[in-house]
Amino acid sequence: MISLKKISKIYGSGDAASTVLHEIDLEIREGEFVAIMGPSGSGKSTLLNILGTLDVPSRGQYAFLDTEIGSLSPDQRALFRRSLLGFIFQGYNLLKKTTSIENVEMPLIYQGIDSKTRREMAIEALKEVGLEDRLSYDPGQLSGGQQQRVAIARAMVTRPRILIADEPTGNLDTKRGHEIMELIRNFNQQGITVIMVTHEDDIAAYASRTIYLRDGVIEKEVNHVS
Amino acid sequence: MFRNAFLQALREIRRNLMRSLLTAVGIVIGIASVIAMVNIGKGASKSITQSVEQLGSNTLYITPGQRRGPGTRGVIEKPFKEKDLETIRSSVYALNVISPVESAYMTVIYKEQNYRTSIRGVENEYLQAQNWNLAEGRAFEKNELRTGQNVCILGQSVISNLSLDPKSIIGNKIRLKNFSCEVIGVLEVKGANTFGADQDDVVLVPFSLFQRRIGGSDNIHLMMAAVKENVPLELAKTQIERVLRERRNIEKEDEDNFQVRSMTALLDTISQVTTVLTVMLGAVAAISLIVGGIGIMNIMLVSVTERTREIGIRMAVGAMAKDILVQFLIESIVLSGLGGIVGIAAGMLITFGVATWLDIALVIDPFITMIALIFSMVIGIVFGIIPARKAANMNPIDALRYE
């Protein structure tokens, strides 16, 4: 489903150029749960951004469902994300002073879905994460765990093929973190491919495969048998 | 997309209500002043036109002297004589009536009281030309006019300022500077003219009396003529000019050394002046609109920076650059458009207030109202495009990372 060939990312130019990713080769199959680990500065966020089509590689080929992402315009990549990708972030990234339901509805607006269907889909997605009694709450009225659930509902409401998670439990305590991971595993078991960056081993343990990154290259890969 | 963007914009405006209101105030003031200026200008113009028409749109004013540029006053012009008047009166058939008019400012004394007013030497035709009737008494008699007897007709303001009784004053004598005259009539109230001057503040005396006692010569400096109904003003004007050119021996190639003017000419001048004033005031008000627009741009730029992360999130979930552009553009259009609507309402209120206060015609021009509304939205586009482009051109990764 995803195929990276000799992916490099270089920031700056000339003497100031710094290579963040160096000729990464990576294959991800549909339905996989991949964790990317590594110390800070290892390039794991950059790799995730490239996988999420938010960024493009400086060199190499990134084929996603046989589409060469590097050749797409920013707007084409936006359309790609719109229909195929869901994102969750460490800092939740919900819209402030906007209710849970409106936050979850937001991606559907860009899909051009009418407001009634939108509402129904948003409520359904919030139910799935167990927030049916927090529909009209602002992020400010929700706990960190609840905010991350809203974020998951927002990511999943469009039924994406891939969920991109950037340290989804980084701001949460262990108990809440595991609750969130249970949700994510649930979606993975429904067939959604999950790519997650984390630096916690017990969180990475949810994944079927862990990729260790160091100084822009893949140090090792570990497959978990579950 | 537009409907959602519109709802989103309304939500965003509500979220920062105080800031949005203050931002829109610039547009409100701009639009309100344009609407008020233009409508009041038009109302004033309409009122002036109406009162000039009341003054007599069929009246011609004949004066000696050429039409000259400004700054050439004081040149002694060859005045008209009695014979000119008689010739016009007997030969210009387009005219209904014609009267000489001469006036001076003098003190009127009755018993212990005195009052300064305008003494005007006229003939009975003056009253006809002015469409002015007598409230009491009678007009001048033929022999009074011919021999210039000491008789006079008082205007209502003179009556009230000397605290006279209009009925019992008839037959009494009042004193003017160096002679006294018998009051034979009292004029009806005519009120203020277009320029606010009190037309009732006048004492009419026979023209020949005026010439003898006040003017001291047989010169005529103004003749007032009323053109017959259904006769074009221009025709009467041409006829008078022909007669006068002949009487004053003006060679064919020479210009007139007299003028025949009508109120319609004055009307044109007035409407020109009011149009220029309206346009100028409107333009000044339009400048405040631009200031209001800059205010909107300023706040939108702040808003874009504040919402950088939101922009990043929207881009991550699949918003294209144009979606972001439209969102912010519509927000600024809605902001300025709402300002425009409030401004129109405020402008109409001001127009209504001023029209009532100054007692001028209430005119609400639908055209300028439409223009104002459209213009306010155009301001939203023009001043919203830079912030909206800034938002749309953001890099999603940087925007998501923004603290």
Mean pLDDT, chain A, integer: 91
Q: What is the ipTM metric for this complex? A: 0.93
3-state SS string over B172-217?
Answer: CEEEECCEEEEEEEEECCCCECCCCCECCCEEEEEHHHHHHHHHCC
Contacts of B204 (CB under 8 A, 6+ apart): B120, B121, B122, B126, B152, B153, B154, B155, B187
Per the DSSP assignment, residues forming a β-bridge with B206 are B122
Residue pair A77/A66 in contact by the 8 Å Cβ criterion: no
What residues does B180 pair with on adjacent strands? Answer: B175
Scanning the structure block, which residue is given the tokens 């103004």? B222
B254: region left, alpha or beta (phi > 0 left; psi from -120 to 50 alpha): beta
The per-residue pLDDT string of chain B (403 residues; one tens digit each, 9 = 90 and over) reads 677 788 888 888 888 889 888 888 989 998 999 899 888 888 888 887 777 766 666 788 888 887 555 555 555 678 888 888 888 888 888 888 899 999 899 899 988 888 999 999 999 888 888 888 888 889 999 888 888 889 999 999 988 888 888 888 888 899 887 888 999 999 998 877 666 678 889 999 999 999 888 888 888 889 988 888 888 888 888 888 888 888 888 887 777 888 888 877 777 777 788 888 888 888 888 888 888 899 999 999 999 999 999 999 999 999 999 999 999 999 999 999 999 999 999 999 999 999 999 888 888 889 889 988 898 899 999 999 999 999 999 999 989 888 7
DSSP secondary structure string, B146-166? Answer: HHT-SEEEE-HHHHHHTT--T
Give yes or no for A117 touching B (CB within 8 A): no
In this structure, the number of other CB atoms found within 10 A of the CB of residue B109 comes to 15
Q: Are B396 and A80 in contact (CB under 8 A)?
A: no
CB-CB contact of B102 with B121 (8 Å): yes
- In a 3-state reduction of DSSP, which class is residue A206? coil
Asked if residues A160 and A82 have their Cβ atoms less than 8 Å apart, the reply is: no
Nearest CA in chain A to B312: A93
For domain A2-223, the question of CATH label 3.20.20.80 is answered with no
What are residue A84's phi and psi, to 5 degrees?
Answer: -115, -20
**What tens-digit pLDDT sequence spans chain A (226 residues)?**
899 999 999 988 888 888 899 999 999 999 999 999 999 888 898 999 999 999 999 999 999 888 899 889 999 999 999 999 999 998 899 998 889 999 999 999 999 899 899 999 999 999 999 999 999 999 999 999 999 999 999 999 999 999 999 999 988 999 999 999 999 999 999 999 999 999 899 999 999 999 999 999 999 998 886 5
Position B94: which residue type? A
In this structure, the number of other CB atoms found within 10 A of the CB of residue A57 comes to 21
Q: Using alpha carbons, select from B209, B55, B38 the residue that is nearest to residue B132.
A: B55
Nearest in space to A36 (alpha carbons), one of A183, A169, A175, A203: A203
- Domain residue spans in chain A? 2-223
> For testing the chain A interface, which of B1, B313, B317 should be mutated: the one with the most A CBs within 10 Å?
B317
- In sequence order, what are the residues at sequence separation of 6 or more whose Cβ sits closer than 8 angstroms to the Cβ of residue B175? B108, B109, B110
| B71 bridge partner residues | none
How does pLDDT run across A139-181, given as a tens digit for each residue? Answer: 999 999 999 999 999 999 999 999 999 999 988 999 999 999 9
Which of the 8 DSSP states describes residue A158?
T
Structure token digits, residue B260: 């025949």
User: So what's the pLDDT on residue B76?
Assistant: 61
> Token pair of A224, please?
């978990």
The nearest CA of chain B is from the CA of A193 a distance in Å of 17
**What's the confidence (pLDDT) of residue B28?**
92
Alpha helices in B74-155 (DSSP H): 82-91, 124-129, 142-147
Record: contact A107-B310, CB cut-off 8 A: no
| Local structure of A72: helix, strand or coil | coil
Cross-strand partners of A33: A194
Closest CA to B183 of B157, B161, B150, B147: B150
Residue numbers in A near B4 (CB within 8 A): 109, 115
Among B residues 313-372, those touching chain A with beta carbons less than 8 Å apart? 313-323
Q: Do A110 and B319 touch (CB under 8 A)?
A: yes
Interface of B with A in 289-318 (CB under 8 A): 309-310, 312-318
Extents of the domains making up chain B: 2-51+268-401, 59-262
List, in sequence order, every residue forming a beta bridge with A2; answer none if it has no partner: A28, A64
Strand partners, A34: A195, A209
